[in-house]
Structure 1
Amino acid sequence: MYQASNVYFICSFAAIGGGLFGFDISSMSGVLGTQAYKRYFGNPVSYRQGAITASMPAGSLVGSLVSSFIADKYSRKVALQISCLLWIFGSILMAASQNIGMLCTGRVICGLCVGIASSIVPVYQSEIAPKEIRGRVVSLQQWAITWGILIQFFIQFGAAQVGGGPSDPNQPESAFRIPWGIQMVPAFILLVGLFFFPYSPRWLASKDRWEEAIRVLASLHGDGDINHPKVLAQYQEIEEALRFEREQATSSFKALVAPRMLKRVALGMSIQMYYIVYIMEGAQIATPLATASIQYVINVVLTLPAIVFLDKWGRRPSLILGSFGMMTWLFISGALQQYYGQANTDLTRNADNSDITWIVLDNRPVSSAIVACSYLFVATFATTWGPVSWTYPAEIFPSKIRAKAVSLATASNWFWNMVLAFGVPPLLWNISYKMYYIFGAFNAAAFVHMALLAPETKGYTLEEMDEVFDSGLPAWKRYKKTSRLEELAREIEAGNLKVAIPLGGAAGTTAVANPEPIAATAEHEKTTHREVDMTSAPGPLSTGAPTEKPPATQAAL
């Protein structure tokens, strides 16, 4: 059966899972204002509408927490396929909803899908991609999210025009059933397409499926040649990392809360605590549809620079400059509203802004500046924290806990989504412009946090992250070290290191490597030509006494 081998194509296709996240974010925005929705579901407001809206992030929180168990046991690919089935089933329930209970059930099930997919897609992408382009391809997750938001928004806007339009009291139910039904299409495409995509080579290795792992590595990084130096070097590096993890003899849960790892877990979770602020109505400029659509377009377009350049300019500058920029726009917006706005009293209220407590009235330059700050906030987020918030957590953890740690990071995202879903409206109502100062302060804290604790990770393999975080260097000093992977590849290409790989299902085959540390020096290359076998019955990760090398299983340059 055909199996995709182009890394860009594989990671781009997997990012459809991120698109489902985007569909989720805007799955209600276009139907809330339609008469069909209000009439059919009894005009839900306040806590009832809050429960409908929050049911999906609640499901996503649970889905993200259980995602690691599915991904570690059944593979990253199968976990994504399970998430697709959940999305399809949940979308069917939503489209066929007869009451609020059925609608919430469908949204919870769709939320389970999004929780799993949003956790596992970055893990799958990071384990597939080489270090040189890992940031670029994992950033595709964020780009797919922005496209999902934009596409679903306009699908819902188009569907809202059925009958006499969104204000028609007799508008047909298709106004909300069409978009909720259409949203299952990308999940079906992803479900079927994944059958033609490889398993993660690192997951295969963790299950001792070494022959499959080396063939996937060869397909992805060596044009199918299992003797390619880079392929053999990656195989050797993965094997050594897994052996070390197993020698530690600690459970993945215990390793997750170990002091040296807890700092990374906290860092990954904090990066996922982002939010979106809506300012336009209070600024009293343009229309909600126009301003929201412009935001969505900005989000899509300005994520592209991050995809192209993230592996060049790095993760750390994006986190630091991004938090500083978002802090700046929030503080400016709050200040403009404070000094030029006014309470929305009975004298200034009208039917269009009766639910707003603070407005800037008849001051177009200030209103334009507030809206500009909102757009700049979105633009800053799109080029910095949006892509990095997926890339960084997916690459900083060792194989043993990667899926679990990323699931916790993503769960923090969904937890804060629920908190903000309930918290932002009353905050806007009760403290108005002061809310922007609060969120600006959070960004100021993020600026300090990232500057002090987030080291640069670009250019390192997943197996080298322990060295980066355990180097003892402060985060602002880059860990300078020749890539272990590149050293291995050079040694293999020069004939100084030979790697035995399992072919034909042969048992007891292992890596064959020089037991002494490899030094990338001319003297070493002249003198080191010894080969030592470490073959024993248990399999590739054994470290038994040297035995005779099985020649039929050796593949080396």
Structure 2
Amino acid sequence: MKTFGNIYVIAATSVIGGALFGFDISSMSAIIATQPYKCQFNQQGNNPTTGQCQGPDDVLQGGITAAMPGGSWLGAIISGFLSDALGRKTSIQIGAVIWVIGSIIVCAAQNIPMLIVGRVINGLSVGICSAQVPVYISEISPPSKRGRFIGMQQWAITWGIAIMFFLCYGSSFIDGAAAFRLPWGLQMIPAILLFLGLTVLPESPRWLAKKDRWDEAKAVLTLVHGKGDPNAPIVAKEMAEIRENVEFERQNADVSFFELLKPRMINRTHIGIFTQIWSQLTGMNVMMYYISYVFTMAGMGGDLLPSGIQFIINVVMTVPALIWLDAWGRRMPMLIGAFLMCLFMAINAGLFAVHSRPATPADGFDTAAISMVISGAPAKAIIASTYLFVASYAPTWGPCSWTYPAELYPMRVRGKAVALATSANWAFNFALAYFVPPSFANISWRTYVLFAVFCAAMFVHTFFMFPETANKTLEDVAAIFEDDGPGSIRFVGIPAWKTRNDRSIIRLERNLVSSEEKIGVEHANESKV
């Protein structure tokens, strides 16, 4: 079977695993406010005022939403073992199969327990794919474009959100349970495409080398980076670096999760984990899951299109990161994003605090989570601020939260380390998905204050403790950490905030490519003679 080595094809196919997460976000945010969903899972009975189905209460709805990230936490942990044992590509394929199984159960759900079980299984898939897709791409990409290709995972998530949202929007015009069963069933298709697409893609060369499959590793590098020439300088350079790294790592400790907590690794572990934790504490996924609640408070509860605009903004504003993330580096986008998100969360908190009134039974809302009502110009400002918040997250913490952890670790622990970091993402995703409906119900606008404080803390933490990793080989990234003990936060003798985006690797790759082209011309001239 022919194996494709174009890095754009490899990245575009593998990041479909990220799109699965996006499908889940939209499949809840676009559906939880609809009558067919509420009537199928009508735990509260009918509203005595309007006679309409009220659906699950805010606590139970939080649990239903949180079931997926709960399963994702477990899937992310498991993925480290799967990836190290079976390979990066195979573990992603296993995730695709699990997604199909979970989607069948969700689509056929007759009651809340069945729905929760299906979402937990879907979560296992998302946890595996979200952890191992960045590892796979990071180990097969050229260093100068690694940020772009890993960032495509976030772009795939935004596309998944947008596509599923508009599927749900179109299905909302269908009567009965088909309004939500149809999109829940259609979300199986991308997972099937992911599984089939990966069958014609190569395995990670670094994983192959780790398993002493050196000929296969060189063949992958030749296919992907050498354009079919096994003697290409860039192939020789990467093979030498990988061989040196593998031999060094085999002389050191065995790989386990406990190694990530040892003094020589604790700094990288803490940075990777907090990158994923902060990406959740921005409040972005909360805005996605429960955007229908926010817009209902602003007087747009019956119209799904304002939410659709937010999802389109998310897709479009991720594109600049795909183009320029490697030029920007990692630190600067994360710092700018944290500042802007803090600002817009604070604006929303202030607008709701000053201009909203408490919701009353006369408003006819079916859930206590819709605890405020705001109208007029302040309501429009809430919507505008929400859009700007999304536009701030999309090119900054969105792609960086997947790119950065995958770059931090040496090869022997990369699979487990990224899995641990990603599990932190899902643990906090679970907590926030469960927490936000009761939070809106009990502390109303102060929920926004909490997220503004988180964004401020994120800015400070990033500035002082997150080093720059852009445009370095994975082996060079591992080498920049200076092991001064468990309390060390220094990198090659300089503080994190003084590390720089070294773009010399781009010049090196260009020189290697130029050398290859020059050699090719010389060979062609010799053959003519």
Of residues 329, 339, 361 in structure 1, which corresponds to 2:354? 339
In structure 1, the partner of 2:32 is: 32
Checking the alignment, whether the CA contact within 8 Å between 2:469 and 2:501 is kept in structure 1 is: no
Mapping for residues 151-550 of structure 1, pairs under 5 Å? 151-163=163-175, 171=176, 173-273=177-277, 274=280, 275-276=283-284, 277=287, 278=291, 279-284=294-299, 288-345=303-360, 349-352=362-365, 355=368, 356-361=370-375, 364-470=376-482, 471-478=492-499
- 1:368 offset after TM fit, Å? 1.8
CA RMSD in angstroms comes to 2.4
Corresponding residue of 1:22 = 22
Q: Name the structure 1 match of 2:518.
A: none
Give the whole-Å Cα distance in 1 for the aligned partners of 2:313 and 2:459: 23
Q: For residue 4 of structure 2, what is the amino acid of its counterpart?
A: A
Measure, in 2, the Cα distance between the counterparts of 1:381 and 1:221.
32
2:186 counterpart letter in structure 1: I
Contact in 2 for aligned 1:204/1:212 (Cα 8 Å): yes
Sort the Cα spacing of 1:493 and 1:434 in 2 relative to 1 into closer, same or farther, 3 A. Answer: closer
C-alpha distance in structure 2 between counterparts of 1:54 and 1:492, whole Å: 48
List per-residue Cα deviations over 1:277-299 (Å, max 9, x = no partner): 34433333575512211110100
Comparing 207-216 and 367-376, the one that deviates more? 367-376
CA distance, structure 1, for counterparts of residue 360 and residue 30 of structure 2: 29
Structure 1 position 41, deviation (Å): 3.3
Give the whole-Å Cα distance in 1 for the aligned partners of 2:506 and 2:245: 12
Q: CA deviation at 1:86?
A: 0.5
Instruction: Supply the distance in 2 between the matched residues of 1:416 and 1:75 (Cα, whole angstroms).
Output: 27
SS across alignment from 1:414: helix
The offset of 1:179, in angstroms, is: 1.3
Give the superposition deviation at 1:74: 0.2
Structure 1 residues 64-73 or 257-266, which shifts more?
Answer: 257-266
1:123/1:431 Cα in 2 relative to 1: closer, same or farther (>3 Å)? Answer: same
Change in CA separation of 1:341 and 1:16 when aligned onto 2, cut-off 3 Å = same
Q: Do the aligned partners of 2:68 and 2:121 also contact (CA within 8 Å) in 1?
A: yes
Displacement of 1:484: 8.5
User: Following superposition of structure 1 onto structure 2, how do residues 80-91 of structure 1 map, counting pairs within 5 Å?
Assistant: 80-91=92-103
Q: CA deviation at 1:481?
A: 7.4
CA deviation profile, 1:286-322 (whole Å, cap 9, x unmatched) = 7551221111010011000111110111111011111
SS in 2 for 1:218: helix
* 3-state SS in 2 of match to 1:26: helix
Number of equivalent positions: 482
SS at match of 1:137: helix
* Amino acid in structure 2 at the alignment position of 1:222: G
Q: Look up the equivalent residue of 2:471 and give its one-letter code.
A: G
| Deviation larger for 117-126 or 474-483 | 474-483
SS of the equivalent of 2:364 reads: coil
Distance between the aligned counterparts of 1:15 and 1:64, measured in 2?
A: 16
Equivalent residue number for residue 545 of structure 1: none
Once structures 1 and 2 are overlaid, which stretch shifts more, 371-380 or 104-113?
104-113
**Residue 489 (structure 2) aligns with:** none
1:372-417 deviation line (CA, Å, top 9, x unaligned): 1111100000010001000001111111111111111111111111
Hey, what's the Cα distance between the residues in 2 that align with 1:329 and 1:68? Answer: 36
Q: Distance in 2 between matches of 1:479 and 1:34?
A: 49
CA distance in 2, matches of 1:404, 1:129: 19
Q: CA deviation at 1:154?
A: 1.4
> Post-superposition shift, 1:259?
1.8
Unaligned runs of 5+ in 1: 164-170, 495-557
Helix, strand or coil at the partner of 1:222: coil
Secondary structure of residue in 1 paired with 2:143: coil
Mapped partners of 1:380, 1:485: distance in 2: 28
Query: CA-to-partner distance for each residue in 1:500-521, whole Å, 9 max, x for gaps?
Result: xxxxxxxxxxxxxxxxxxxxxx
Alpha carbons 1:232, 1:489 under 8 Å: kept: no
How far apart, CA to CA, are the structure 2 residues paired with 1:307 and 1:492? 22
- Cα separation, 2, equivalents of 1:66 and 1:76: 13
Q: TM-score, normalised by structure 1?
A: 0.82
CA 182–228 in structure 1, closer or farther in 2 if over 3 Å, else same: same
Tell me the distance in 2 between the aligned counterparts of 1:26 and 1:286.
Answer: 16
Q: Determine if contact 1:326/1:377 at 8 Å carries over to the other structure.
A: yes
Q: Could you say which structure has the larger radius of gyration?
A: 1
Question: Highest relative contact order (Cα 8 Å, sep 6+), 1 or 2?
Answer: 2
Question: Matched residues in 1 for 2:28 and 2:443: separation?
Answer: 26
- Runs of 5+ unmatched residues, structure 2: 44-54, 483-491, 516-529
